[in-house]
Amino acid sequence: MGVTIKKFTGEDLDYSVIINDRFTVDSILFLTATEHSIQYTVKKVLPYEKQYSEDPDNLLDLQKYIDHPDKAIFLAIEGNDIVGLVIVRRNWNEFAYIEDIKVDQKYRRHGIGRLLMDKVKDWAQDNRMTGIMLETQNNNVGACKFYERYGFFIGGFDKYVYKGINQLSDEIAIYWYFIFE
């Protein structure tokens, strides 16, 4: 697999970014907190498919990321296809905040997520940030396990953050951190 990771530039505005980010939910992380740590166990659930829908009203203005010192987009490209991307910005707390990271379903488990994360790590260190942070849901166990393997740890969680979108939602936001040594 000949995947190249490159920083998004004005020349890339003509690319259509269609990444199938669908995944099967067959388990969730059940979180518990003590005074000094957050632990989880994996709990099986009835399987269902989930996909993050792109709301045109909420899409990031990609042009704002071109040549911006505190924002970047990195693309994973194979041939003429974008097969993954990561969108990152400097957060108020001097962490690199990953706004979105996704790899097309057909290209998962080939190291592309790690290559994208490595690029974020380099960018954050080059810009003298404290580390990397991101948020995902407790039902995206594959992503959670990837972040943990990469070296992230859970710094917090919020069981109400998605209630504003859907009052019946039982998804829990998990905040992951990777702190540079």
Where is pLDDT greater, at 76 or 49? 76
Q: Is the pLDDT of residue 57 over 50?
A: no
Q: Is the pLDDT of residue 58 over 60?
A: no
What residue spans define the domains of the chain?
3-179
CATH class of residue range 3-179 = alpha beta
- Once rounded to an integer, what is the mean pLDDT over residues 73-95? 93
Banded model confidence at residue 35, pLDDT cuts 50, 70, 90: confident
Place of tokens 């199938």: 20
- Once rounded to an integer, what is the mean pLDDT over residues 47-76? 77
Tell me the average pLDDT of the chain: 88
Q: Is the pLDDT of residue 63 over 50?
A: yes
Residues 128-162: pLDDT tens digits? 999 999 999 999 999 999 999 999 999 999 988 88
What is this structure's pTM?
0.89
Q: Are 132 and 98 in contact (CB under 8 A)?
A: yes
Dist CA 73 CA 75 (whole Å): 7
- Residues 6 or more apart from 65 whose CB is under 8 A from it? 8, 71, 72, 73, 87
Where is pLDDT greater, at 154 or 81? 154
- Once rounded to an integer, what is the mean pLDDT over residues 94-105? 94
Range in 7-11, 51-55, 122-126, 148-152 the model is least confident about: 51-55
